Amino acid sequence: MTIGFGIVELVSIIMFFFSYYAIIVSRNMIKSIIFMSIMEVSVVMFWLSIGFNGNIVPPILQSMEGHSIENIGDPLTQGLMITAIVIGLSVTAVNTIMFLTLYRKYKTTDWDIVKKRQMAG
């Protein structure tokens, strides 16, 4: 693993598993919602590390001239990641509204307490 290449990918995977750990462990619903957003950003970081080689320029004509193709960023991953980020925001928005409605009904933000009250009817 050459330094500068694999590091970004490793960091993004560490962050992905860390946010997965946080989602398993948090009993507070607010933390779960925030960590779902964090998980999404770490996956975006992974996609952008595809093809990264240390010195990279964006795929825009005025920056791109005179650089060889290995040093130019991949436009496809960037386009896809803009889509993924915008979808992530819609999802966060809907999640918070559903959480707020649930809070108004049960008056607690704890997963286990809500589950117990839901089972009890």
Partner 1 sequence: MINILYIMLFLWMLSGVLVLIEKKVLSMIIWFFIFSLVGAFAFFLLGSPDVAMAEAAIGAFSTIVFIVCFEKFFKLRDIIQIKAEEEEIKKENKIKRFIIPCIFVLILGSMFIYFLPPETTNSYLKELYITRFMSDIGGENAVTSIYLGYRLYDTLFEALMLVIAVVAITHMSYTDKIQIKEGERSEIEKSNIANLLLRALAPMAILFGIYVIANGFLTAGGGFQGGLAIASFFICRFLIYDVYDLDMKKINKLEELVFILIVVVAAVTVFQGTLYLFPEQYTAMTRNIYLIFMNALVGLKVACGFIILFYRYVAIERN
Partner 2 sequence: MLVYFVIVPIIVGLILYLLYKSTLVRIFAVIAQLGLVIASVYMFIQARAFTVYEGAIKGGFLGESGIIERIGGYESVMGITLMADTLSAVFIMLTAFFFLIGVIYSFNEQKKPLFWMLMFIWQGALMGIFLTSDFFNIFVLMEVATLIVTVLILFERAKRSMYDGLIYFMANVVIMQFYLLGAGYLYRYTGTLSLYIANEQLKFIEREYIILPYVLIMTFIVLKSALVPMFSWLPKAHGTPGAPSSVSAILSGLHIKSAVYLFLRFQYTFEVVAVPEFFLAIGIITAIVGFIMALAQSDAKLVLAYHTISQIGLIFTGFNIGGPYSYIGSLYHMVNHAIFKSTLFLATGIISYAYGTRTIYDIKGVFKSMPLVGTATLLAIFGITGTPIFNGSISKYFIMSGQQGIMQYILIFMSLGTIISFVKFSTMLWGKPNINIETKKVDIAQQIPILLLGSLCFLGGVFGQQFILFMFNTELSVNPAGYLEKIIIFFISLVVGILIYKYYIKKSKLLKRVKQIDLGFRGICIAMGIFFGIMLIYVGFLQ
Q: Is 91 helix (H, G, I), strand (E, B) or coil?
A: helix
Residue 41 or 62: the one with the smaller Cβ distance to partner 2 is 41
The continuous run of DSSP H or E covering 12 comes out as helix 6-25
Q: Which residues bind partner 2 (CB under 8 A)?
A: 16, 20, 23-24, 27, 32, 36, 39-40, 43, 46-47, 50-51, 76-77, 80, 83-84, 87, 90-91, 94-95, 98-99, 101-102, 105, 111-112, 114-115, 118-119
User: Of residues 69, 119, 120, 121, which one binds partner 1 by CB under 8 A?
Assistant: 69
Residue 7 interface partner, choices partner 2, partner 1, none, CB cut-off 5-8 Å depending on type = partner 1
How far apart CA 107 and CA 72 sit, in angstroms, is 52
Backbone angles phi, psi at 107, to 5 degrees: 60, 35
Q: How far lies 93's CA from each of 35, 39, 43, 45, 62, in Å?
A: 14, 15, 19, 21, 37
Interacting positions 81-100 with partner 1 (CB under 8 A): 81-83, 85-94, 96-100
